[in-house]
Structure 1
Amino acid sequence: MARIKYISILDHTTASSPTPHVLYIIKVTFDNGQQHEVLRRYSQFVGLHEYLEDSFTLPPNHHLTNAVVPSAWVNDELIAERKSGLAAYLTHVNTVPEFQDNPIYVQFLSSPSFDMDSLGQGAKETPNMVSRDTVKIYQVIASDPDTQATPIAAAYYPSWSAWTNPPNKLNFAKFDIIFYAFATPNASATLSWEGGAQDTLRKLISSARQSGKGTKIVLSVGGWGGSYWFSQVVSSSANRSKFNNALVGAVNSFGLDGIDIDWEYPNSTGAGNPHSSADAANFLSLLKLLRTSLGWSKVISAAVPHMPWLGANGSPLTNVSAYAAQMTYVNIMNYDVNGASSKPGPNAPLGNLCGTSKQPQANAKAALAQWTKAGFPASKLLLGLPLYGYVSKSTATKLSGSLMPDPSVSPSPHPRNGPPRTLEPDAAAGDLSGMWGQQIAFNQLLQGGALVKNADGTYKGANGYQMGWDNCSDTPFLYNTARSTVVSYDDTWSIASKTQFAKKASMAGCFTWSLDQDDGLALHNVIRSNLGKK
């Protein structure tokens, strides 16, 4: 039987359940050359130490968070001290013959899902001793000093935005995660890239690392227009293996912090994509393979609609806990609920607040309920916030949560081939007729003269546009009857409202589509402020 030769802790990551905390990545090397990784939180080390009753010393019990600086757990010096001390502790324990074959110690260093309830199983202690040990462990977990409750502020960064937002000009202090969009799967079960996208990604990663802000760069794969081959690349073990190798290869060659799968959508046509009733099951198989290949230090996420993935019967899955076990986050795309229409509705409703929506499942509150009911923890759910809206040719002076979008208009979630249409260069201030039927970035509303910024950092209508508020969705809209134009969008108030909802619901945080559409950092600053971040 192979014996443990060397134990090291070179890295750490975070987890969000049952409460956010730091996880230390233990690399175990055996005398036969095999290696594997397991993740453990500080309280589990304490539990092992107390169970073994060994004479060795754990690193100081520094609290890595406090009420004043809630994100202090990322302090490099404290984390380095903790990792070094924990690695030394395990190395010392491993020198004691009686501990080397202890089933609990072996399980601690081998089981991916080490369960504190297992302490004492099969060992010498009586049932009463086991019970006391288990109670002791849960007491330790409750006071785990690594616990932190700072939610994530993330954003998608499309490759085409490098022209207006070059990577070296980004303020990385504002983003915990940047999802780089997109690479796309192809018929060969590898990745395809738009021209220049790989160079932009390298610059983004280099700039993020040089900033020293700890921003994670995650590659998003797919998108609304880039999901054609997903069903095929996960359809067989051979295809999944090849695609997994392509994803892992990208992580390793670029030095990425993870992979985001933006499959729109499993077992659904999406933008005219082939699909199969086996898509959801095959997707889970891919996630398991990817997690095994990447280890637990990397982010694995997926952009998702309001309802869980469609199962073999064509209905949303009722139990997605197996997916949650492999994933870091799912990113709920709470937008594109209504596109442009002669009877416009809200783009990104907070909820069905009037009880009149014909799409009651398509809002932030419903999405949270639907995903958590299916077994995905709220602490792993990121709420999507759009930094764009839709321009409708309409004389409406209000939005209605009861209205469906015009079926003749097809909105395009996560457009892959470029940014929203540019404004007409010679258009008069406030003339958005060239954008009818299209998405419009928040900053384009200012450029086009439909919005102006107030001294207090909020925004109001300009050049004949009146600002209205849809109480049924808790979102704003602009209307100009003389120009037959209505814009459904999000602003500082609605962004703040949805962010507050996510924080109060103990969600993992929020992300935006997309970083380049903000008025500088105005809306992102609102998000950070309402998440309790600087």
Structure 2
Amino acid sequence: MKQINLIALFLLCLFTTNSFAQKNKKMDIIAYYTGDDKLINEYEINKLDQIIFSFCHLKNGKLSVDSPKDSITIKHLVSLKAKNPQLKIVLSLGGWGGCEPCSAAFSTDEGRLAFAKSVKEVSDYFKVDGLDLDWEYPSIEGLPGHLYQVADKPNFTDLLKKLRSTLGKKYELSFAAGGFQKCLDESIDWKGVAPYVNRINIMSYDLVNGYSKVTGHHTPLYSTNPKEESTDRAVTYLLKQGVPAEKLVIGAAFYTRTWKNVENINNGLYQAGEHIPGADFKNFATTYTEANGWKYFYDEKAQAPYWYNAGTKTFATSDDIRSVKAKTEYAKAKKLGGIMFWELTLDSPKNGMVNAIYEVKVAK
């Protein structure tokens, strides 16, 4: 009898989910969304598992939906669930430049609890499924001039703890994390936060960004040298920190980072340049053409595309159909929680990046 009980206990431990993990579930396709209540209808919602409305902000330390237009959009997103039972609607706080008061607001126990209560009120009102914290970044510099302090790191852990206890076990709770090494090393207590969240959305893009004076792959799957940031480097690091694979979501970029004044050496890759605005995926086919002077390249080691225009000395880097399929295959092979992207309105409504991700997801 004792032996049977031990076997039963072993089986129970074996099949019990780890906290709020998404066990025995196909990987999720998660869309950040900045559009309105009309534009969303052009996209293939049935291929998405989660839409993250971007963004809400802090107002007097509480979660705030900024405008009547945003309220209408959120209500419409929630209405999409009627035809798409797999779909979850999540509100996001912050964004680049959107979390200026976060460090101060979350610096006290009272402030963190007040915020958690406000999230519950807003979530109950709109009947949304969850919250994604996009604080860029706890403990390290984000947008120049924003307050950051060492105490942000433990405060962030406690914030997630209070959110989970206030919102309950069924509530979707995630956060966006920088995919670059300084953030991975210094910003988050990974073992501390993992028990409270459903997923961690790794921003494995902008790894070279608008502040970068040298070109490179901004959202590569793999590093081509030991110092190069990449998706795999971030995932490997977080798995070693003990974060469960099913809680990790990797990021894809539906836009280019672009530089001018780039010399025609190595087709512009890893060369000095001046950052300029890029293009959205939905415009790639009309922008990066041979007629416009562009040549397409694909780095097999990094699993990353890039473009170079010798005539204008311009370089561009992004994800494309090929690289986003490679990322999705990677997420499946590693049994990760899914793939997310910035952001839906940059995609072609049909036969675009979302469709490419979905095709890999459902393939046997």
TM-score (norm 2): 0.88
1:150 is aligned to 2:26: yes
Give the 3-state SS of the residue equivalent to 1:193 in structure 2.
coil
List per-residue Cα deviations over 1:198-223 (Å, max 9, x = no partner).
Answer: 221112222x1232343100001100
Measure how far apart 1:509 and its partner are. 1.0
Tell me which moved more, 466-475 or 335-344: 335-344
Could you tell me which runs of 5 or more consecutive residues in structure 2 were left unpaired when the two chains were aligned. none
2:115 pairs, out of 212, 237, 243, with 243
Deviation, 1:374, is 1.3
Deviations 1:382-405 (A, max 9, x none): 11000111222134364677x487
Matched, 1:323 2:193: yes
Matched residue, 1:396: 264
Q: Are the counterparts in 2 of residues 395 and 479 from structure 1 also a CA contact under 8 Å?
A: no
Structure 1 gap segments, 5+ residues each: 1-124, 410-436, 452-460
Q: 1:205 to 1:396 in 2, by over 3 A?
A: farther
Q: Aligned residue for 2:49?
A: 176
| Cα deviation code 1:86-136 (max 9, x no counterpart) | xxxxxxxxxxxxxxxxxxxxxxxxxxxxxxxxxxxxxxx85x454243245
**3-state SS, counterpart of residue 279 of structure 2:** strand
Distance across 2 between alignment mates of 1:251 and 1:337: 33
Q: Which has the higher contact order (CA 8 A, sep 6+)?
A: 2
CA separation in 2, counterparts of 1:187 and 1:196?
21
Which of 201, 226, 251 is the matching residue for 1:384?
251
Q: CA RMSD in A?
A: 2.9
Deviations 1:273-317 (A, max 9, x none): 101211111111111111111111111000001258869xx8355
Q: Deviation per CA, 1:348-393, whole angstroms, max 9, x where unpaired?
A: 011113x2x54x3x21111101111112111111110001112221
Evaluate the alpha carbon distance shift between residue 140 and residue 295 of structure 1 in structure 2; reply closer, same or farther with a 3 A threshold. closer
Q: Secondary structure at the match of 2:36?
A: helix
2:342 maps to 1:517: no
Contact 2:62 2:119 in 1 (8 A): no
Alignment pair present for 1:440 and 2:279: yes
Distance apart, 1:195 and its partner CA: 6.2
Distance apart, 1:490 and its partner CA: 1.6
What SS does the aligned partner of 1:482 have? coil
Q: Residue 239 of structure 2 aligns to a residue in which SS?
A: helix
Aligned partner of 1:229 in structure 2 is 101
State whether structure 2 residue 234 is matched by structure 1 residue 372.
no
User: Are the equivalent residues in 2 in contact too, given 1:190–1:242 (CA < 8 A)?
Assistant: no
* Distance of aligned partners of 1:339 and 1:462 in 2 relative to their CA distance in 1, 3 Å threshold: farther
Aligned to 2:325: 496
Structure-2 residue corresponding to 1:9: none
Are residues 486 and 147 of structure 1, via their aligned partners in 2, closer, same or farther at CA, if it must alter by over 3 Å? Answer: closer
Kept in 2, the 8 Å contact 1:162–1:200? The answer is: yes
Measured at CA, do residues 338 and 404 of structure 1 come closer, stay the same or move farther in structure 2, by a change above 3 Å? farther
Structural mapping, 1:269-348, within 5 Å: 269-272=141-144, 273-306=146-179, 315=186, 320-339=190-209, 343-348=214-219
1:473 and 2:302 correspond: yes
- Measure, in 2, the Cα distance between the counterparts of 1:532 and 1:507: 15
When residues 194 and 337 of structure 1 are mapped into structure 2, their CA distance, relative to the original with a 3 A threshold, is farther
Percent identical across equivalent pairs? 26
Which position in structure 2 is the counterpart of 1:105?
none
Counterpart CA distance in 2 for 1:225 and 1:501 is 31
| AA aligned opposite 1:288 | K
Instruction: Identify which of 356, 360, 364 aligns with 1:530.
Output: 360
Partner AA of 2:163 in structure 1: L
Residues 449-468 of structure 1: matches in 2 within 5 Å?
449-451=287-289, 461-468=290-297
Tell me if the contact between 1:187 and 1:229 (Cα under 8 Å) persists in the aligned partners.
no
Alpha-carbon displacement from aligned partner over 1:323-367 (angstroms, at most 9, x marks no partner): 1111000000011112366742111011113x2x54x3x211111
1:500 offset after TM fit, Å? 1.0
State the one-letter code of the partner of 2:206.
D
Superposition pairs of residues 198-217 of structure 1, within 5 angstroms: 198-206=71-79, 208-217=80-89
Q: TM-score, normalised by structure 1?
A: 0.61
Whole-Å Cα distance in 2 between the matches of residues 347 and 194 of structure 1? Answer: 33
Aligned residues: 356
Q: Distance in 2 between matches of 1:513 and 1:239?
A: 30
User: 1:398, 1:468 within 8 Å by CA — same for their partners in 2?
Assistant: no
Larger Rg: 1
